[in-house]
Each structure stands twice: as C-alpha cells, then as structure tokens.
A and B are shown apart, each in its own frame.
Chain A
Amino acid sequence: MGLTLHHFLILSAILFSIGLVGALTRRHIIIMLICLEIMLNAANLNLIAFWHFSSNPLLMHGPLFTLFAIAIAATEAALGLALVLAIFRHYKTIDLESIRDLKE
C-alpha cells in the first residue's frame, strides 16, 4: 500500500495539533514562536499534498503558494524575533506569565 492523501493530511493534522498545543501552553516566548512555525508548515504540507494528488499537478499552484508562505514566514520570523528582543530588553524576561501589560 502506497502513500495516499490521507497519510499526509493526518501527519499535517498531528503537526498542527502539536503546534497549537505548544502555542497555547508553553510560557517560553521563543518556543511559542517555534510552535507557530510548526503550524504554518503543517498548512504548507497540506498545500503540497493536495497539489500532488490533484487532477492536474502540472499547474504549479501548490508550490507557488507554499513558496509564498515560506517567504512570508521568513519575514514574520524575523519580525517576531525582533519583537522578542525588544520585549526582553523592556521587561528583562521572556516568561509570558509575567508580562501582563496587554490589558486596558
């Protein structure tokens, strides 16, 4: 039995869940960013999988979207890390529990 679309979808669902749980529970801000990336890549995996098993893989929509998403994810990661740095400089901590200035 070869690989089918479902294998990929399940794998990506697992990845997404791991990322989601991580993002919701971990208090380390960088781990949270990494979890965000995992979720994004789960979505990318979906795009590639659907493209691969689609009726006309000669249309390059899947890889195009994915490349776009990767490029944007790269900029987003750069921005996120810069923000983390700024937050760390300001609060002297990156523990999310102790940063509570988002209210009001």
Chain B
Amino acid sequence: MNLFDFSHSVGWLWWIPLFPLMATVWLGFFNPSGKFAAAVANAALLASLLLSIRAFAMTWGPEAGVLTANFTWIQVAGVNLEFGVVLNPLTGAMLAMVTFVGLLIFLYSTSYMSRDPGMTRFFCYLSLFMVGMLGLVMSNSLLLLFMFWEIVGLASYLLIGFWFRKPSAAAAAKKAFITTRIGDLGFLLGLLWAFKATSTFLLFDGGQGLLEIEQITALSATKDVLFGLNGAGVIALFLFIGAVGKSGQLPLHVWLPDAMEGPTPVSALIHAATMVAAGVFLVARAFPLFLADATVLGIVSWVGALTALFAALVALGQYDIKRILAYSTVSQLGLMMVGLGAGGLALSEGGVSIGTFHLLTHAFFKALLFLGAGAIIHGCGHEQDIRLMGGVFNRMKVASICYLAGALALCAFPFTSGYYSKDQILLSAWTAHGAVFWISASASLLTAFYMTRQCCYVFLGDYRGKGPIRQSPSLMTAPLVILAIFSLAMGIVSEEFYHILTYLSGIAVDQHAWIVVVVSWVIALGGIALGLLIYGGSQLGLDATDPMKGSLRTPYAWLENQFFIDELYDATVARLWKASAVLIVFLESGIHFLVETVRGLVTGMGGFLSKTIDQKLIDQISFDGVCDRIYKSGRLNAIIQNGFLQGYLRSVTLGAVILGVLYLVFAR
C-alpha cells in the first residue's frame, strides 16, 4: 500500500480523511484563534473535496468497479487482521456528497459561529467528524468501519453537547451516546459473528471477502442459524440493529430529535445529511448479506415503513422548527430503509441504488432545510418556536426562497430531486409488498402536509416575534443558494442524463408502474393543497390554537407529546433499572448477614487466640523479649548515626573502597 501512488492503487484514498485529521490535531493541540481555525478546517476539507472528486470521477471511468488497497494491520496467533480501503460507485458517490455538503456547511458555520467563543473547539470537532465519516465510507474492513463508526459517534456526542453548560444539551448528548450504543452492540455482535464464520474482516478481497460471492454462498448454505435465518441473514440482522441505532429507526429514534440541542450547522451536517445516513450506508454496503435472506429484507422494509409513518405523524404536532425537521429526518431515513429493503426484494442487486439515491438527494435538501432554518433562527433572534415566527418571507427573501426549494424537494414535488428518489422507493415498495407501499405513501403524504404547515407558520401572516429580523450575511446565504440548485436539479440531471441508479448498483435498474406515478403526484400536490387549505388562512400563533388541535383534541395531544415514547421508556426500561437496583440492594443485605455471622465467629475465635496465645506467648515472651534485645543493641549502633548525611556517604564509600581493595588482593 502506497500513499503516494496515484495511478496504480487506491491507497491514496487515505489522504481524504488524513487532511481533516491533520486539521483536528492542529486545532486540538495548538488552539489557534477562531477565524484561523475556520480557515484551517475549510482548507483541509477543500483538499479532501478535490481528492474525493478525483475518486468520484474514477468510478465513472473505464477502470471502474471494485478497487481495493488492503494491508495487514496486526498478526496475532495466526490470525491476520487486515485493513484496507475500497473504491466503488457507492463509496465514490458518498465521498463526493459528504465532502461537498460538508464544505458548504463548513463555510456556513464560519459565519454562523463567528461570535461563539468556542469556535476553535467547534471546528476541531467538525473536522474530527469528517475524519470518521470519510473513513467510514471508504473502509474495506468491517472492523475499520466499526472504528470510524465509533469516531463518528464520539464526534456527534461532542457536538450535540457543544454548549455543554446548557443542561439540556449535556443530557441530549448523553442520551444520543447511550442510545446509539445499544445499536452499536448489535453491530459489534454482527462483526464478531462474521469474523467467526468467515475468519476475515475484509469486505472485498479478490474473491475471498465477506461480501463476495464465494463467502455469501457459503454463509447462506448454513440454514436456520438463529431465529430461522441463514448464516448471512443473522449477520445482516445484527448489522441492521447497528443501523437502527445510528439512523434513528424505531424503537431507537428517541435520541435524534433531542440531538437538535447542538448548533444548527451540526444538525445540518451530522443529524440530517451525513452521520445519521451512516446506518443506511451500512445496510447499503453490506447489501449482499441482506440479499441472502429475504426475511431480513422484509424486516428492514417494515421497520423503515413504520418509522417513516410514525415520525411523520409526530412531526405534525411539533412547534420547534428544528424538531419538525428532525422528525422529518427520521421519517426520510425510514423511507431509505424501505428503499433498501423493498428494493432488495423487488430488484435484487439493483435495490442498493434505490435507498442510496434517496440518501444522496436527501442529504442536499435536508442540509439546505437545516441551514435555512439556522438562517431563520438567527434572523429571529434565536427563536426556534414557529408560533413566534411568521411573515419571514417578506423580510428574508433569499433564505426563504431557498428554504421553500428544500421544502418542495422534501415534499417530493414533481421534478425536484426528492420526487425522483422517492418515486423509486415507492415503485420498489409497490412491487415488493402492498402494505409497505401504502404505509410509505401515507408517510409521504404527511410529509407534504407537515412541511406546508411549517411553511405557513413561518412564512405567512405577520411577524409574531419580538425584536427586529436580522439579515443573514452572504457567507451564510451562498451555501443555501448552491444547495437549493442541487435540491431542485440534482434528481432530473442524475436520473435522466447519468442513470445514477444503474451507476450505483452496477446493473440496469428500470421500473415503471403508472399507478405509483399517479399516487406520488396525488401525494405531493394533495399534501401541499391540504396543508394550505387548513393552515393557509388560519390565525396562527401562541394564543391561537393549532387548527388541527381544534377538531382532533386527543389524537393531537399524542402527536404533540411524540406518542409518549420517552415517557414509555421512563416507565419501562428506566423503572426496570430501578427495580433491579432495589433487588440488588436486597440481595446485598442477605450477603451482608452472612458476612456478619462469619465475622462474629472469627471475632470470638480471635479473642481466645489473642488473650492466651498472642499476648502471653508471642508478645511477652517471644516478641517483647527479642525487641528488648534488639533495642539495646540498637542504642549501641545509634552512636555512629549522627544524622550528618555526608557522614553516611563517607562510610559507604569507605566500605566500597575496602571491598574493592580486598577483591584486588584476594581475587588474583
């Protein structure tokens, strides 16, 4: 493996995470001023972006396919742990997306965080996150992927708790870390299981890798390993548990809405565009394992569909602009899972492109929505409650138009990027499973509806907040404009001109069903129309009740409280925890009783021993007698111990000299 060989191997891919790593180390150890730190982080990411574009271009070129560069990390007891990087269309597209969106968000943060005293720390963490994310998408080893996965988790923890003096932020960071840890345990089990079954961590290894046909065939030949799944299915299921934690799927979604405590650029980069997509990416990366067992694909699509519907419902009842977007992220991640699961059932190998395409388009429009929300929050004097906004459109034209472009893409308005990717998901779901299709379709309808609700609250009517609206500086609006262009045009360009689905999966993907097209048009337009009908002309604000709440009081309360999932976990898992603590205290008091009994016995015996044997025999006769004699001889010795340090030293030297002389005399 050679880092400087840019033509024959792909070892140079290591430079992509190395640049942000150097930035992290620099900022972390030398703690320069905030402005300088931003410049360093931006420059490092720009270098990564250029290399990523080269990698991306290579995957289109004639030598495209699966390119790897592996090396042995450690050898222990005959076991080789091998690491490596892989470049295939999936990696290339992810690298380009992560660095491009990342750079735009870095630029945005340079302006957004310019007044924050912790700006250096912020960019240090952001660069660390970039190291993890870029390493994650190019890892060719399950173990290496897991390591980067954890770095990403750590960076997410640090950034959610960036304003750690705020108790809610510290609590949210802890919650995110612990909840994703539950998923990571699944990932770890899958990883160990895979290593036990195949004795390799490499994903692609010239025919011997975990994801290549030989191992997959061998794994799927072992039937009924656990829960009736075959060998590959079990590994896939465990990896999926990891993905559920990272991508905020039911039932581990609780951390993602709380993660909005972090600064808004962090929400855009990590908790919308890239990191939470790592779970989806893991499923896409390990897709051959999932394909080997249809049951797991079914689980993936069902979990995804239920998550999508659940989160879309909750988003209806939220008032915090970022929290709505967070639930929308959870919902869209669910749809990506549907794309992968149902896509695998419907199209076999082609399914990987369905979920990944939505991941890519979603990254652009959701980053745009979060950055736009950041600009609006910034403009309204750090107010996040949509009931205290309103009339923003007339005061912040550029940011609002960009935001609306992102919202249209999220609603899958025809011919925006979201339309193309979501269409493919619905098509696969239609072929794979009717129920999954209808659940995903209703989630999409709700998506259009709640986005319209939010836009009505924010943009229409009169300004309801306090204080003047501030305009965003151009460094903040420029990324918004670029992202808006991508959100609108990326779908049509990549789908019609570049056939991205075929590119991503390597085989031709072509699916049509007129009913799905009709349904998706009805969903997008109907959802927006319904939203405008209900919220367009209503009186909105803190004192006015939400129009939906007026007619649906009880169900809406459930939505407002996010279906009481947090409370449910409090009442079940947390209470179980406390009950087991009480049980343990009870057990311990039993043990304590035993210990006390033994102690009593020992004390009684000890009393006998101490009085007769110890005090008389040992103390008075043996010990004290001996001590007395030693004491007397000690007094004699003490005469030369006069406390003068160099006196001692001189005696030591004299002794050494005498010994030396004796040696010279007698040793010959």
List residues of A whose CB falls within 8 A of some B CB: 20, 23-25, 27, 32, 96-97, 99-104
B644–A24 touching, CB < 8 Å: no
Which of A24, A97, A101, A103 makes the CB contact (< 8 A) with B649?
A24
Min Cβ gap B657→A in Å is 10
A97–B644 touching, CB < 8 Å: yes
Q: For B646, list chain A residues within 8 Å (CB).
A: 23-25, 27, 32, 96
Q: What does the 1/0 interface line of B556-585 toward A look like (CB < 8 Å)? A: 000000000000000000000000000000
Min Cβ gap A34→B in Å is 15
Min Cβ gap B660→A in Å is 13
Q: For A102, list chain B residues within 8 Å (CB).
A: 641, 643-645, 648
A104–B653 touching, CB < 8 Å: no
B642–A103 touching, CB < 8 Å: yes
Besides A24-B653, A100-B643, 12 more A-B contacts (Cβ < 8 Å) are A23-B649, A24-B646, A24-B649, A97-B644, A99-B643, A102-B643, A102-B644, A102-B648, A103-B638, A103-B642, A103-B643, A104-B641
A104–B638 touching, CB < 8 Å: yes
Q: For B648, list chain A residues within 8 Å (CB).
A: 102
The chain A residue sitting closest to B652, CB to CB, is: A24
Min Cβ gap A94→B in Å is 11
Min Cβ gap A96→B in Å is 5
The chain B residue sitting closest to A29, CB to CB, is: B645
Query: What 6 A-B pairs come out closest when comparing CB atoms?
Result: A103-B643, A100-B643, A102-B643, A103-B641, A96-B645, A24-B650
Q: For A103, list chain B residues within 8 Å (CB).
A: 638, 641-643
Min Cβ gap A17→B in Å is 11
Min Cβ gap B632→A in Å is 15
Min Cβ gap B152→A in Å is 38
The chain B residue sitting closest to A99, CB to CB, is: B645
The chain B residue sitting closest to A32, CB to CB, is: B646
Min Cβ gap A25→B in Å is 7
Q: What does the 1/0 interface line of B339-371 toward A look like (CB < 8 Å)? A: 000000000000000000000000000000000
Please tell me the number of chain B residues within 8 Å of chain A, measured between CB atoms.
11
Given contacts A23-B649, A24-B650, contact A96 B643 (CB under 8 A): no
How far, in whole Å, are A102 and B643 apart by their CA atoms in the complex? 4
* 17 examples of A-B residue contacts, CB within 8 angstroms: A23-B646, A23-B649, A24-B646, A24-B650, A25-B646, A27-B646, A96-B644, A96-B645, A96-B646, A99-B645, A100-B643, A102-B641, A103-B638, A103-B641, A103-B643, A104-B638, A104-B641
List residues of B whose CB falls within 8 A of some A CB: 638, 641-646, 648-650, 653
Q: For B645, list chain A residues within 8 Å (CB).
A: 96, 99, 102
The chain B residue sitting closest to A102, CB to CB, is: B643
Q: For A32, list chain B residues within 8 Å (CB).
A: 646
How far, in whole Å, are A64 and B438 apart by their CA atoms in the complex? 74
The chain A residue sitting closest to B648, CB to CB, is: A102
Q: Which of A32, A99, A102 has the most CB of B within 10 A?
A: A102
The chain A residue sitting closest to B656, CB to CB, is: A20
Q: For A104, list chain B residues within 8 Å (CB).
A: 638, 641, 643
Min Cβ gap B664→A in Å is 15
B641–A100 touching, CB < 8 Å: no
Min Cβ gap B631→A in Å is 12
How far, in whole Å, are A101 and B641 apart by their CA atoms in the complex? 10
The chain A residue sitting closest to B657, CB to CB, is: A20
Q: For A20, list chain B residues within 8 Å (CB).
A: 653
Q: For B653, list chain A residues within 8 Å (CB).
A: 20, 24
How far, in whole Å, are A27 and B649 apart by their CA atoms in the complex? 12
B649–A100 touching, CB < 8 Å: no
Min Cβ gap A99→B in Å is 7
How far, in whole Å, are A103 and B638 apart by their CA atoms in the complex? 8
Q: Which of B642, B645, B648, B653 has the most CB of A within 10 A?
A: B645
How far, in whole Å, are A102 and B268 apart by their CA atoms in the complex? 69
Min Cβ gap A45→B in Å is 20
Q: For A23, list chain B residues within 8 Å (CB).
A: 646, 649
How far, in whole Å, are A103 and B653 apart by their CA atoms in the complex? 19
B644–A101 touching, CB < 8 Å: no
How far, in whole Å, are A67 and B631 apart by their CA atoms in the complex? 45
Which of B638, B644, B650 makes the CB contact (< 8 A) with A100?
B644
Min Cβ gap B199→A in Å is 38
How far, in whole Å, are A103 and B646 apart by their CA atoms in the complex? 13
Which of A24, A27, A101 makes the CB contact (< 8 A) with B643?
A101
Min Cβ gap B656→A in Å is 10
Min Cβ gap A51→B in Å is 24
How far, in whole Å, are A99 and B643 apart by their CA atoms in the complex? 8
The chain B residue sitting closest to A101, CB to CB, is: B643
How far, in whole Å, are A89 and B650 apart by their CA atoms in the complex? 26
Q: For B649, list chain A residues within 8 Å (CB).
A: 23-24
The chain A residue sitting closest to B642, CB to CB, is: A103
Min Cβ gap B642→A in Å is 6
Q: For B643, list chain A residues within 8 Å (CB).
A: 99-104
